[in-house]
Amino acid sequence: MADLLFHKEEDIRKEAAELIGLLISQYDEEYRKEMPKSIEKSRPKTTSEEVLNNLLNYILYPSHKIEESPIEWQYNLKTIIKSLFYNSNVENYEKYSEVLIKYYGGL
């Protein structure tokens, strides 16, 4: 999906960015029912924060092998973040904000 951020058509890049934000917001499992005490809740191998962090690294620090201008498709980062917060539960705002704030440390 992240490869579609490189597409030459702007509308495809924008739609891909919106879908990426939506997918990250829906990534973590939510248990809506009460689980028996005998069942231990397992921790997922990857969390939505890790997915977001990996994606930000991929976009902000692209591989030298990428031919396209990173500035052109980094504009989609705004759309990804907007979609992420729009589709997330309010209780997840803080954890996503913490991931984003790490990237402002160098400013």
pLDDT tens digits, residue range 19-74? 999 999 999 876 666 766 776 766 668 899 999 999 998 888 877 666 566 566 67
Verdict on whether the full-model pTM lies above 0.85: no
CA separation for the pair 71, 59 (Å, rounded): 9
Residue 34 within any structural domain of the chain = no
Q: How many domains does the chain have?
A: 1
9 pLDDT above the threshold of 60: yes
Going by pLDDT thresholds of 50, 70 and 90, the confidence category of residue 10 is confident
Q: What is the residue range of 57's domain?
A: 2-27+44-102
Residue 73 is predicted with a pLDDT of: 64
Residue 7 within any structural domain of the chain = yes
Residue 97 is predicted with a pLDDT of: 95
Residue 36 within any structural domain of the chain = no
CA separation for the pair 27, 24 (Å, rounded): 5
More confident residue, 89 or 42: 89
107 pLDDT above the threshold of 60: no
- Asked if 24 and 48 touch (Cβ cutoff 8 Å), the reply is yes
Token look-up 């499992």 returns 29
